[in-house]
Structure 1
Amino acid sequence: MSYVSTRGAAPPVDLPTALRHGLAPDGGLYLPHPLRPLPAAEIGAMRGTTWLEVASRVAAHLLGDELDRATIDAIVASALDFPVPLVRLTERVHVLELFHGPTFAFKDVGARFLARAFAATRTSDAPITVLTATSGDTGGAVAHAFHGVPGIRVVILFPQGQVSPLQERQFTTVGGNVQAAAVRGTFDDCQRLVKGAFADRQLVDRLGLTSANSINVGRLLPQVFYYFYAWAQLPAADAVVSVPSGNFGNLAAGLIAKRLGLPAVKFVAATNANDVVPEYLRTGRFTPRPSIRTVSSAMDVGNPSNLDRIVALYRGEPDRLRRDVSGRSFTDDATRACIASTARQHDYLLDPHSAVGLLGLGDELEAHPGAPGLVLATAHPAKFADVVEPVVGRPVALPPALAALRHVESRPEAVAPDRHAVTSLLLRG
């Protein structure tokens, strides 16, 4: 298997090159090619197996050309050593809890796998700088995954004042080889600055610059694993899958899983008021816009990077994409109401992003009466207690690791949202 650019103007590369450089030379994102389906018998054999077994099987299918099975199994066992429980909410609705990793968000799956895959494929001891933008959960996951790794410096850009206090402390108080900077702008500004840094070849070569955002295919591929694991526990074959979506890496991973043979009848791209992708699905036109602040802040993205991958998977044909994906957007009021009703009816707490995902199932479950519904729950509700607690009228219990952060002061450096300021930050080392 090789890795090809979504823009089609760069040569295919191997896995170490794709991991190391993140972006292709033509500015595109890497996709694995070809995407050969898993044998139906192998998919069926996943039923009744463990999370780690499913992850190893899918990883071996995707990466087995370049990593031996023992290495793959070791990466999986080390990176994904936390549970991914499937909770039955109603007869038809199931919630896959992806927030039981060390930073209590689904980003732990991708960031931890990437860090270990990067180490397994690294061919030089030259220093590396990992530059990452975050709208919340990526920052903590990347900081935790790479903290203390020799020869690697981590720089995290985040939008000042637009990340929950607990999320911010998860990556601004780590120290050591992890540095965080508050950008006076939006998450889209942070993404633009990261891409601008990668466009500077001298800077890339001088610092050994790479990324741990979902623009890096090594972050994306492990997210494929949990779609198969969830399916293997569902009661019927073809599922409706609702994906809370901001930068659209999670949905891109789901659509890759479908190419590999995942039995899914429909995906729902569930967004907040930042609805550029649902609009694209309706009209066939993509119009990026400045992001709007919402209570589901990690999804406040007006120009999602991973849409490039989704468009490339469907060869730029919106009609083909619509057959597999529908788009839904929801207001903050609807999100709060969903959190409240789910707590009242099922004694189950959702964070605001997962609530958007649950809302997304509605119409599609009606359209597919025999299919089970799957919602990806992307963050622990305690990370958004400021939203959840007023709605449900009771405190949200904090996991000890999060409780310890409440009294730690966050003092990130503030930088202007321009390329020169970020270049200066990077060069200071």
Structure 2
Amino acid sequence: MKLYSTNNHHLSVAFPEAVFNSMPLDKGLYMPEHIPSLEQDFIQNIGQYSLAEIAFKVASALLKEAIPAPELRHLVQEAINFDAPLNRLDKNTYVLELFHGPSLAFKDFGARFMSRIMAYFLKDGEEVLDVLVATSGDTGGAVALGFLGVPNTRVTILYPKGKVSEIQELQLCSNGQNIYALEIDGTFDDCQHMVKQAFADEELKEKRRLTSANSINISRLIPQTFYYFYAYAQLQKQGKDKVVFSVPSGNFGNIAAGLLAQKMGLPVKQFIAATNANDTVPRFLESGIYQTRPSVQTYANAMDVGAPSNWVRIMDLFNQDREQLLEKVSGYTYNDEQTLQAITDIYTRYHYVACPHTAIAWLALEKYSSEHPDEAFAGVFLSTAHPCKFPDVFPQDIAAAIEVPPQVEELRSKAKHALAMETDFEAFKTYLLNR
């Protein structure tokens, strides 16, 4: 598998280099030189396959010759060892639950796969791999649990002070071993900017072996394609073949993976980018002007991103052609008041508890459906986090209906260990060099 930079299609690197370096020197993002098309026979009969079988098939097509098939199969089975059930709420409305992994968020797909990919390529005696990750909520916990105890790795997680939930914070601050947390007095965009500065710093690159566990790393993106194929497989069993996916979108890695799956042959009618008040992409889709803004804090904190990194990948998939993009991607944005109302509406209508991110995806699907009343399709909105991670958001009657997993109670008994830091890159650099 060869990959190029979105800033330079003539730059070509092998998969291990893209995994460990995360970001090209020209500050683009890595994309596959060739996006394979899966056989039509596989797509037409996908309903007969399990999630693990689908994941192996997709990974094999993308990682051609990068990892031998037996090792790749074992890696996939170990990483993706939990389900992603598609629940039917009414005749044409479904929710894809992606929170059944250890950190209770969809980020487990990417983090667990990436950690095992890196462990596979790491050699005994090599320099310690410093994994840097910025998180607005769920990424940190998934990466922490994905890399916990992985030999020869050291993970540093930057998160914005006061802008993640209690459970999210404990998931990334209570692990110890090779996991370190930095509580940054700023926004997620500040955290992300500090990580990107680290990758561009010559002294750090010389003295530390740095890589990223954010979705800028191509090995985070690949496994996120798995659950789109699996959702379609579950729909196929119910006789459905036309699907619209509504995707809660912050850094836009989730929907980028869906679009990659579509380029590989997954038949998707439309993708909906559902955002909170951080509406950079919906504004672009409407006006044609791409203008980032400082992120603002919302109840859907994992989507509090004003400058989404993965948007360059999406534009690259569509050859920078906005008109072509609009044929496949719609965008809607919602504020906190609308989000809270949606949580109540979903519970009233379906007796289903949705986290704030999931509620926004449902709102966007409802809006799209109302604008296309004469079109027949299955509408699937992605549920990206377990509602127990946001206890302060729900009215009392809905909160009482949440089943809290045992690992959450265990988390609450642990102590928080995080180093407070200003949005000061030099302080961050010194920390990395002196540790």
| Shorter-chain TM-score above 0.5 | yes
Q: Distance in 1 between matches of 2:158 and 2:42?
A: 41
When residues 393 and 64 of structure 1 are mapped into structure 2, their CA distance, relative to the original with a 3 A threshold, is closer
How does the TM-score come out when normalised to structure 1? 0.97
Q: Distance in 1 between matches of 2:167 and 2:45?
A: 40
Contact residue 170 and residue 416 of structure 2 kept, 8 A:
yes
Write the letter of the residue equivalent to 2:185: R
Write the letter of the residue equivalent to 1:340: T
Residue 314 (1) aligns with residue 315 (2): no
* Corresponding position of 1:153: 154
Write the letter of the residue equivalent to 2:11: P
Contact residue 23 and residue 30 of structure 1 kept, 8 A:
yes
Contact residue 241 and residue 373 of structure 1 kept, 8 A:
yes
Write the letter of the residue equivalent to 1:106: F
Write the letter of the residue equivalent to 2:74: A
Residue 76 (1) aligns with residue 80 (2): no
Q: Secondary structure at the match of 1:326?
A: strand
* Corresponding position of 2:406: 400
| 1:5-47 CA-partner distances (Å, limit 9, x unpaired) | 1111662111100101000111011011211211211212211
* Corresponding position of 1:278: 282
Q: Secondary structure at the match of 1:34?
A: coil
Structure 1 stretch displaced more, 38-47 or 117-126 = 117-126
Write the letter of the residue equivalent to 2:41: A
Contact residue 7 and residue 26 of structure 1 kept, 8 A:
yes
Residue 5 (1) aligns with residue 2 (2): no
Q: Distance in 1 between matches of 2:62 and 2:9?
A: 23
Q: Distance in 1 between matches of 2:322 and 2:397?
A: 38
Q: Secondary structure at the match of 2:111?
A: helix
Q: Distance in 1 between matches of 2:43 and 2:232?
A: 10
* Corresponding position of 2:66: 66
* Corresponding position of 1:219: 220
| 1:40-92 CA-partner distances (Å, limit 9, x unpaired) | 11212211211111111111111122112111110111001011111001110
Contact residue 19 and residue 217 of structure 1 kept, 8 A:
yes
Write the letter of the residue equivalent to 2:241: A
* Structure 1 residue runs of 4 or more that deviate by more than 6 Å after TM superposition: none
Q: Secondary structure at the match of 2:389?
A: helix
Q: Secondary structure at the match of 2:245?
A: strand
When residues 10 and 413 of structure 1 are mapped into structure 2, their CA distance, relative to the original with a 3 A threshold, is farther
Q: Distance in 1 between matches of 2:253 and 2:314?
A: 9
When residues 130 and 10 of structure 1 are mapped into structure 2, their CA distance, relative to the original with a 3 A threshold, is farther
Q: Distance in 2 between matches of 1:201 and 1:50?
A: 45
Contact residue 119 and residue 151 of structure 2 kept, 8 A:
no
Q: What is the CA distance between 1:353 and its match in structure 2?
A: 0.4
* Corresponding position of 2:95: 95
Equivalences for residues 139-218 of structure 1 within 5 A: 139-218=140-219
Contact residue 282 and residue 332 of structure 2 kept, 8 A:
yes
Q: Distance in 2 between matches of 1:395 and 1:55?
A: 33
Q: What is the CA distance between 1:424 and its match in structure 2?
A: 1.3
When residues 393 and 103 of structure 1 are mapped into structure 2, their CA distance, relative to the original with a 3 A threshold, is closer
Write the letter of the residue equivalent to 1:186: T
Contact residue 10 and residue 26 of structure 1 kept, 8 A:
no
| 1:272-292 CA-partner distances (Å, limit 9, x unpaired) | 010000001111111110111
Q: Distance in 2 between matches of 1:390 and 1:224?
A: 36
Q: Secondary structure at the match of 1:13?
A: strand
Contact residue 391 and residue 399 of structure 2 kept, 8 A:
no
Q: Distance in 1 between matches of 2:225 and 2:394?
A: 29
Q: What is the CA distance between 1:389 and its match in structure 2?
A: 4.1
Residue 388 (1) aligns with residue 390 (2): no
Write the letter of the residue equivalent to 1:94: Y
* Corresponding position of 2:53: 53
Alignment gaps of 5+ in structure 1? none
Q: What is the CA distance between 1:121 and its match in structure 2?
A: 2.2
Q: Secondary structure at the match of 2:337?
A: helix
Give aligned pairs, total. Answer: 429
Q: Secondary structure at the match of 2:412?
A: helix
| 1:155-209 CA-partner distances (Å, limit 9, x unpaired) | 0000011000100000101011100001110000000000000001331231111
Q: Secondary structure at the match of 1:11?
A: strand
Q: Secondary structure at the match of 1:407?
A: coil
When residues 284 and 391 of structure 1 are mapped into structure 2, their CA distance, relative to the original with a 3 A threshold, is farther
Q: Distance in 1 between matches of 2:396 and 2:286?
A: 35
Write the letter of the residue equivalent to 1:128: L
Contact residue 243 and residue 379 of structure 2 kept, 8 A:
yes
Q: What is the CA distance between 1:325 and its match in structure 2?
A: 0.1
Q: Distance in 2 between matches of 1:411 and 1:170?
A: 11
Contact residue 48 and residue 233 of structure 1 kept, 8 A:
no
Contact residue 295 and residue 352 of structure 1 kept, 8 A:
yes
Q: Secondary structure at the match of 1:388?
A: coil
Q: Secondary structure at the match of 2:13?
A: coil
Contact residue 365 and residue 371 of structure 1 kept, 8 A:
no
For the aligned residue pairs, the C-alpha RMSD in angstroms reads 1.4
Match of 1:378 among 369, 375, 384: 384
* Corresponding position of 1:137: 138
| 1:339-367 CA-partner distances (Å, limit 9, x unpaired) | 11111221111000011111111232241
Q: Distance in 2 between matches of 1:75 and 1:58?
A: 13
Contact residue 10 and residue 24 of structure 1 kept, 8 A:
no
* Corresponding position of 2:337: 333
Q: Distance in 2 between matches of 1:242 and 1:9?
A: 30
**How many percent identity over aligned positions?**
44
Q: Distance in 2 between matches of 1:237 and 1:33?
A: 29
* Corresponding position of 2:246: 242
Equivalences for residues 410-421 of structure 1 within 5 A: 410-421=416-427
Q: Distance in 2 between matches of 1:336 and 1:403?
A: 25
Q: Distance in 1 between matches of 2:172 and 2:26?
A: 31
Q: Distance in 1 between matches of 2:291 and 2:308?
A: 11
* Corresponding position of 2:19: 19
Contact residue 240 and residue 364 of structure 1 kept, 8 A:
no
Q: What is the CA distance between 1:393 and its match in structure 2?
A: 5.6
